[in-house]
Amino acid sequence: MKIAFYHNHKEDIGHMVHLLRIIAAIKERSPLARIFMFQAGKPQPLFERTPGITWLHLPRPFYSKANYFSPPHIPPSLAALRGRFLTRALSRIRPDVLITDFFPFGRRECGIELSPAFDAIRRQGGKIIACVPMPYFTHSGEDIEELVYFAKFYSKILIHTPARLDLGYMTRWIAAERRVSPEIFLDVFSRLKRKLYFTGYVLPPGAAQEPARGAPLDDTILVHRGGGSTSPNIITQALLAKKLLPSRYSMLVAAGPATDEEEMRGFKNLIRTNKIAATAIRAFIPNLSKYIERSAVCVGTAGGTAYELLFYGKKSVVIPFTGGPGARRADQSARADLLERLIGATILDYESLTAERLARAIEQKLRCRATPTPYGATRARWFEGGARSAEMILSHAQSKD
């Protein structure tokens, strides 16, 4: 059995983390399955050490953190070059299933290089499945038919949240992006409902075991900003806030692997010049989930780690990234809203973030005796996304229909 994944990225890591968790669940159920990863973005060496995966790199990636909030210019010759590479490789490998990450709900620019690949897969009798981290798409109202067109190629579109839960929050926030109305947003999911499969959240392998209630906490404040493509002020203000917090607490900062040398040097200089004690900063923490579980308070954006905060029931300060002054990202705002309502997370605005405001929010969490509900214990089925995704993918890979 051969299963191929296609992944593009803007130097973020959340989507790849999800894919690797799903791959681990596939390998657990089908150890002999051969896994191929088409890395359409920049190389991510930290992940490419994962055993049991054959990595293939598309030439000349066009996404980066520099165009995180704006579409890149892709010359037709580059799109054709990448499309030929992908199609020829797929024709050679002949996978039973091709899985695209986020597309067709996002990464719209990938459609040009994927179109010939879809034709090749279908000629070979293979299936196409999408892995979409949340019920959210990036199209404007006038572009909806493009999404619907590409969805026709798919046997299934896996959405890695529980049915109805996140969709409600996303619908409430989508109007803030000023590109599609809540009614049109919901209508897309209604039109595609026969293809959609809500898997639940995808957690690290082994995390779906019931978390222990009342587990002892380290005196550590964990700070992160996802892959490091956005939100540098979270790191800056968190480091400065450390001096305003009780000295018995340490701080661990995950700046993200997209943090470049100059940026990391600036963060370390800030620690040194301000004599900030008991503080460690790293670009990447491989087992971040375990640090989330053990920390006293978590501070960060409202990305994929939101579901681990929910699972463990963590005291949290959430700072959604926005894409610019006055802007809103519905996915970030929706997850922040979900965390506020379910585990009492404190939401701070990125544009007005200061060390003093952040320190006050953290200290309030540290002083609060009430412990948020660990939803991994009370809503275990919400967190079975890895297993359900693997089972759905394997069933399509084995099917001859």
The pLDDT value recorded for residue 329 is 87
374 close to 313: Cβ distance less than 8 angstroms: yes
State the residue for tokens 């509900």: 373
Q: How confident is the model at residue 327 (pLDDT cuts 50, 70, 90)?
A: low
Q: State the span(s) of the chain assigned CATH 3.40.50.2000.
A: 2-206+384-398, 220-379
Confidence at residue 328, expressed as pLDDT on a 0 to 100 scale: 77
Tokens of 295: 């920390």
Q: What is the pLDDT of residue 217?
A: 63
Stretch 335-356: mean pLDDT, rounded?
97
Q: What would the DSSP string read from start to end of 303-364?
A: STTHHHHHHHT--EEE----SSTT---HHHHHHHHHHHHHH--EE--STT--HHHHHHHHHH
pLDDT at 206: 72
**182 pLDDT tier (thresholds 50, 70, 90):** very high
Q: Which two tokens stand for residue 369?
A: 């005796």
Pick the range with the lowest mean pLDDT from 99-113, 185-199, 243-257, 322-336: 322-336
pLDDT at 322: 80
- Please report how the helices 330-343 and 165-173 are oriented relative to each other, as an axis angle in degrees rounded to 10: 120
Q: How far apart are CA 309 and CA 339, in angstroms?
A: 8
Confidence of residue 212 (pLDDT cuts 50, 70, 90): very low
Given this model, what pLDDT does residue 287 score?
Answer: 86
Mean pLDDT of the chain: 94
**Residue 172 burial (CB < 10 Å; 0-12/13-18/19+)?**
middle
Confidence of residue 337 (pLDDT cuts 50, 70, 90): very high
**Tokens for 353?**
């973030």
**Residues 252 and 218: beta-carbon distance below 8 Å:** no
Return the CATH superfamily for domain 2-206+384-398. Glycogen Phosphorylase B; (3.40.50.2000)
Q: Residue range 246-267: average pLDDT?
A: 96
Q: Is the pTM higher than 0.85? A: yes
pLDDT at 223 over 50: yes
pLDDT band (50, 70, 90) for residue 70: confident
What value does the mean pLDDT take over residues 242-255? 97
Q: How many CB atoms lie within 10 A of CB 263?
A: 16
Percentages helix, strand, coil for the chain (3-state, rounded to 5) are: 45, 15, 40
pLDDT at 325: 61
* Position 139 pLDDT exceeds 70: yes
- Give me Rg for the CA atoms of the chain: 21
Euclidean distance between CA atoms 302 and 321, whole angstroms: 8
Q: Which tokens sit at 186?
A: 């919901």
* Distance from C-alpha of 144 to C-alpha of 287, rounded to nearest angstrom: 38
Q: How confident is the model at residue 79 (pLDDT cuts 50, 70, 90)?
A: very high
The 10s digit of each residue's pLDDT in 279-300 is 999 999 988 999 999 999 999 9
The domain 220-379 having CATH identifier 3.20.20.70: the answer here is no
H/E stretch holding 55 reads strand 53-57
User: End-to-end CA distance of the chain, in Å?
Assistant: 15
